[in-house]
Amino acid sequence: MGDPDKKKKFRTEFRKNRSPRTRQKDWAKQVGEEGAIDDLPRGERLSGKGELTKKRTVLGSDATSAGGMRIDVDADCRRGRVLSVHGLTCLVEADDGTTLQCAVRRILKTLATEDRHVVVAGDEVYFRLANDKEGMIERVEPRTGVISRTSRGRQHVIAANVEQMCIVSSAAEPYLKPHLIDRFIVGAERAQIKPIICITKIDLIAPHELQPLIGVYARCGYDVLPLSAISGFNVDALRKLLAGKRSVVVGQSGVGKSSLLNAVEPQLNLRVGVVSEETQKGKHTTTTAKLIKLQSGGYVVDTPGIRTMELWDVIPEEVCGAFRDLRPFIYHCRFPDCTHHHEAGCAVKDAVADGRLDVRRYESYLQLFAGD
């Protein structure tokens, strides 16, 4: 039997950086007009290793864990949680409650992953102390409850290790966007996170105008809270839902995410902004995701405004399963691979025609299925 204490070695992919591309062998074929050779690069690196130059051997305990490789750390490293990320440094809270600025170990930043950022708010990490106020992140623990979207072809993780998502949308200023709410719900369903729909600024409209929309989501089994940070309406109910939980607050700019958190816990004193009367859009008052500990227990991640939510790693065939109100009908369709778009004998389309399924929710499904 092998030695259980023996370190495991893994051959893993790394980003190929800080060196130019290997020389192209067919450069002569790409020369068109006479004299174009003058535009070719003068200096190129010659290498016989090819793809091997992108790989390194590292010591670790699991090369396939979610959230990156679990690189081995020694007993000198301490455990902590990332509160926020600021460029090249992160604000980390240690287990004893102290906070310090940490840089990220280079081996983590050069791992060939699909993540846009290797460390995000909510990550559990191991770090090594440099002094009383600074440290170096050596390892990122596997993530659960990941909220992410697509950004320039890569995964942009908004928050990690959360168990519920507060989807904040305003009844006015800016106007309500139900299709954006649906996109957040699909992201939450895919990550197996509980969505809570918060509709703010209800003091700006007649409350009965929201009843049809609230009814649609309530029939799906979602918690829907009409809220007002000014009057305090339903703030106590939200405070109870956040107590002792790991939550993230998402929504477009100007909907009142920070104002809502200030109403839940006034001592937070988070910065708030105003909405433009011309464009009905808010400014990015919150510029980075911040993990905030609550007095009632648990924590909440306050995030910058998101105007578009392009879902990450969701194929069209998976969209329908994330719509709770569509699920009861899909098993009665004539064809097992029905897309619920143009096929005959589609139970989903029949339910829409009969008024048993909300038309707007069905349109949201079609948009997501088409990849819009």
Could you tell me if 85 and 198 lie in one domain? no
Contact 368, 189 (CB under 8 A): no
pLDDT value of position 107:
78
Please tell me whether residues 138 and 223 are part of one structural domain.
Answer: no
**What tens digit of pLDDT does each residue of 42-68 get?**
555 555 444 444 555 555 554 434 344
Q: What is the pLDDT of residue 88?
A: 83
pLDDT per residue as tens digits for the range 206-257 = 988 999 999 999 999 999 999 999 999 999 999 999 999 999 999 998 898 9
Per the structure, the complete domain to which residue 79 belongs is given by 1-19+50-143
CB 291 within 8 A of CB 83: yes
Q: Are residues 57 and 104 in the same domain?
A: yes
Q: How confident is the model at residue 73 (pLDDT cuts 50, 70, 90)?
A: confident
Q: Which of residues 316 and 115 earns the better pLDDT score?
A: 316
Residues 63 and 107 reside in one and the same domain: yes
Q: Is 178 domain-assigned?
A: yes
Kindly give the pairing relationship between strand 223-226 and strand 8-13: unpaired
Q: How confident is the model at residue 204 (pLDDT cuts 50, 70, 90)?
A: very high
Tell me, yes or no, whether 183 lies in a domain: yes
Q: Let me know whether 242 and 118 are in one domain.
A: no
Query: Is 297 found in the same domain as 238?
Result: yes
pTM over 0.85: no
- Residue 330's domain is classified under what CATH number? 1.10.40.50
CATH code of 233's domain: 3.40.50.300
Task: Give, in order, the Cα–Cα distances in Å from 346 to each of 10, 50, 78, 352, 362.
Answer: 50, 52, 56, 10, 13
Tell me the CATH number at 114: 2.40.50.140
Residue 156 domain-assigned (yes or no): no
Q: Is residue 132 domain-resident?
A: yes
End-to-end CA distance of the chain: 55
Question: What's the mean pLDDT when you consider all of the chain?
Answer: 82
Count structural domains, the chain: 3
> How many whole angstroms separate alpha carbon 120 and alpha carbon 117?
7
40 assigned to some structural domain? no
Residue type, 185: I
